[in-house]
Amino acid sequence: MITKQIQGVAPLLQVFDMPVAIGFYRDVLGFEVAQASGEGDDVDWVLLKLNSIELMLNTAYEKPDRPSEPDEQRIAAHTDTSLYLGHPDIDKLYSYLLSRGMHLKEPQITGYGWKAIYLLDPDGYLLCFHWPTE
């Protein structure tokens, strides 16, 4: 079947402030900017990579149309989007993220038996870092 050749997935998230979003994903989580629509952090689109993960960020507004503050109704819908990322040492990741100023609840065991921590990115998207318990 031809669809068996489909490879990978790269979610696209709409962000309000690209330099802030890049700072979070690159400087806190360790993603690298693989491609961008321009030079520097103040661009409209980026492709980020970390190990086998690809994630695209796009500005929600073109620069001339960007309001001074995020639209709260728009951002409220971001909680409907979650990214689940694997990490083999949730406790160590938890400590690291706390040291970077992230606000997190302590790791917990999910209903499906994995240890997890949850974090909102700067645009309100939910990130879950989880790993199977032994």
Contacts 24+ apart (CB under 8 A), 129-132: 129/85, 129/86, 129/87, 129/90, 129/93, 130/84, 130/85, 130/86, 130/87, 130/90, 131/86, 131/87, 131/88, 131/89, 131/90
How large is the average pLDDT for residues 97-125?
96
pLDDT score recorded for residue 122: 95
pTM of the model: 0.92
End-to-end CA distance of the chain: 36
106-134 average pLDDT score: 96
Evaluate if residue 76 carries a pLDDT over 90.
no
Give pLDDT, residue 77.
87
pLDDT of residue 29: 98
Q: Span 76-87, mean pLDDT?
A: 92
Closest to 118 measured CA to CA, from 110, 109, 128:
128
d(C-alpha 87, C-alpha 130), whole Å: 6
Rounded CA-CA distance 12/60 in Å is 11
